[in-house]
Every structure is written in C-alpha cells, then in structure tokens.
Amino acid sequence: MRFEQWWVLSLAMVALGGLPACSGDDGDGEDAGTFVDAGTRGPTDSGTSEDAGTDAGTSADAGTDAGTSVDAGTDAGTSGDTDAGSGQDAGADAGSGGEPDAGADVDAGPGGGTDAGPSADAGARDAGSDTDAGPDEDAGTGGGPDAGADVDAGSDGGTGGDPDAGTDAGTDPGPSPSGTCPANALICESFDNGLNGWVPHSENALIEVENSRLHVVTRDGIHEGPEFPRAIAQWEKPLPPFETQLFIRAHVFMRSLPAVPQQLGTVFVLANLRQEDFGGIEVQLISDSGFALDDWSLRAGTGWQRQPEPITVGMAAGRWVCLEWEVRRATPASTHGTTRVYRDGTLAHEFQNVGMRAFNHFSVGYGFVHPQGPSGSETFYDNVVVSRTGRIGCQ
C-alpha cells in the first residue's frame, strides 16, 4: 500500500477546516515542521476531552493530496491556551533553534481501542507517508518477502507496478532478549499472532512479522523533494485516552543509526487525531546516537527538542537494545508534562515542557519523514509493551 494520502488527512481536514501542508525548510536544510498547520480552524485546548467510545471500524482513504498550507494563525477556539498564536507551523521548532524534524504519523484506523466514532485517515504530507484505506499487501505476516529478499518500494497493494526498492535485508540479528508483560498492560505484543489488531502503514519501506519479530526495512536513495516522498513503515494500534502516565518498552535491534544529522529516524509515536484534542509526540533518533522529542501537540511554547551533546547514553546499533519511553503529566487536564527515554535501563534524557493531549493511538516502527538520500535502514522489534501502571523494565 502506498501512502498516497497519509492516514491522518481526512480527520485533519475535518479538524482544521482545510488540508494543511508541510511547513517549509528554514534554509539550512533543517525542517522543524510536522504534519499540520495550527491554522485559524485549529483545535482548541480541551485538556480533559474524553474519548467517546470504541473505534468504529477501518480507516477511510485519505482522499486527495493536501492542498495549500493553512496559516498558523491564532487558535480559533474559545478556551485554553493559544497554541498557534506564534504563527508557527504546527509542531515547528518553538525554541530549538531550527533543529530538524522528522515528523511521523499514526493512523486512526481499525482496532479495538477506545476511539469515538468511525476513524478516518487524516493529516498532511509532513505527517509522514500517505496511505490508503487498508493494510499493505507487503505488510504484516502474509505477503512480504523473506529477510534476504529485496524490499518492495511501498507499492500499493495489488498494483504490482512499483520498482524493487533496491535495499537488501541484512543477516538475522540473533535471538531477542526475553521480556515479561505486566498485569493489566494496554498492549503486550510478542509478534506471535500476525497483525493482532495492528494496522500497518508504509511508504518506500517493508514492515512484516518475521520469526516472531517485527521487521522494518526502508528503501535507500529516497530524498524529499517536490513530491515529499517518505521512507517509513509503522504498525499502529488504538489506546484508551491518555490520563497522567504511560510507559512503553520494546527490545530493538537497529542495523545502523541515521546516516546524516538532518535525517531523523522515528521510533515511537503517541497521538490523538480527534478534532477537540488533536496533537501528538514522538521519539526520534539522531545520527550522533542522541534521542529527540518531536512535539506537534499544538500546545503553547512546545516544539522539537533534542538530547544535549555530548551524548553519554544514546541509542546503540548492531545489537539488541532495551528502549523505554515514559510519558507523564500532573492531571488529566494538564496541557504540558515531561517524557523520559531510557536505554538498557539507564536514563538517557528527560524532555521538559512537552505538550500533552488525550493520546489514543500508538505507533511502533521506523523510518524517515524527511529522507535525505541515504535512507536505507533495517530494524527489528520484539516484546513491545504499553502500560499505565509503572515502568516496565527490560525483562
């Protein structure tokens, strides 16, 4: 399936009254924008907006491509803080000094989670890759090639017309670490049951279950340009609305780190795509092994942040890593909070002043929303857990 219109397009069109577009670069090759402008029809701060029920079914096709960008003017709502008051692109760097933004995307698609009403694909080009209404023929457990085969270039399921991606998967990473699942976990995934309620999305990438692990390979040689191609693949699943704390753990094997500083790799995404509480945050990787936090929550004073240099605890390539993400806010009505990233049980960095929403979708995968040419990568995941009770740990 090719992301001709990214999964968040239709919902953002409803939420924002128009089809937003990717914010432009600032001239130095770094783009702090992500997938929606906080325009005059932008969502207001609700803080306590509640999810209204279970997801109503499969996500719809995103429709036509995003049109003209929406000006990031003042918030059109009547309550809460003026998220878009600075005239920035939603998710633009609000204090990072023009650092790059890899963006990402979460599909409001099918699943058994708590998402009010029928979900619809929504968003614009800066949100990641486009999608149509259904899982990739290459994604999941059935149609993808073996680990040694070339990766299909994110072609639309059934079209068969796209060329080979030209990126061979590497050797097997060896057995993944063992991992337990705490009681009452929201998600406990060992990749033994096929899709198991997940919705796959990919563009110029392959994502499939292989040997009870999630295997992601992105195509090399992709460079963002006038058409804004992406090289990214993810699995997405609904969650109950985020309240005050959330803990995520995965065992991750990366063949390599991002090749250049401007090309950030997206790992985890939390998002809410409903009009009244729209926004998201995501964990990214930098070429120097540091972690970054992309914030497109549309909250006042938020933006892209990175782990300061020098990096003392960063991501490692070529071996299995225990990666944890902790998200907290004081109350369910709090508009800002903190997140922490841990590697192998050690705190790598705490990100402050992070915008919060009632996040109700989680995505795991890997790839680049702003590929810069050397976009080939291979990543494996196992033992993915999402919990509300406390840190999960590495075992």
pLDDT digits (tens, 9 = 90+) for 66-97: 333 333 333 333 333 434 333 333 333 333 33
What integer is the mean pLDDT of 361-365?
Answer: 99
Residue 233 has pLDDT above 50, yes or no: yes
Residue 156 has pLDDT above 70, yes or no: no
Least confident range from 89-98, 194-203, 357-366: namely: 89-98
* Of the candidate ranges 105-119, 265-279, 378-392, the one whose mean pLDDT is the lowest: 105-119
| Band (157; pLDDT cuts 50, 70, 90) | very low
Q: What is the pLDDT of residue 107?
A: 41
Is residue 377 pLDDT above 80, yes or no? Answer: yes
Percent pLDDT > 90 in the chain is: 55
C-alpha distances out from residue 296 to 32, 244, 292, Å: 10, 19, 13
DSSP conformation letters of 185-218? -SEEE-S-STTTT-EEEEESEEEEEETTEEEEEE
pLDDT tier, 171 (very low <50, low <70, confident <90, very high otherwise): confident
| Bridge partners for 342 per DSSP | 324, 347
- In the structure, what pLDDT confidence band is assigned to residue 53 with cuts at 50, 70 and 90? very low
Task: Specify the higher pLDDT residue, 335 or 136.
Answer: 335
Backbone angles phi, psi at 15, to 5 degrees: -70, -35
Residue pair 382/352 in contact (Cβ under 8 Å)? The answer is no
Q: What is the number of structural domains in the chain?
A: 1
Q: What's the pTM?
A: 0.63
Domain range for 355 is 1-395
Q: Whole-angstrom Cα distance, residue 197 to residue 194?
A: 9
H or E stretch covering 340: strand 336-343
Q: How many CA atoms lie within 13 A of 61 on its CB side?
A: 9
| Whole-number average pLDDT of the chain | 71
Q: Is pLDDT of 49 > 50?
A: no
Q: Cα(86)–Cα(93) distance, rounded to whole angstroms?
A: 11
CATH code, domain with 193: 2.60.120.200
Query: In sequence order, which residues have a C-beta less than 8 Å from that of residue 225 and are 6 or more positions away?
Result: none
Residues 6+ apart with CB under 8 A from 193: none
pLDDT score recorded for residue 167: 46
CA distances from 7 to 103, 106, 201, 228 (A): 14, 7, 8, 15
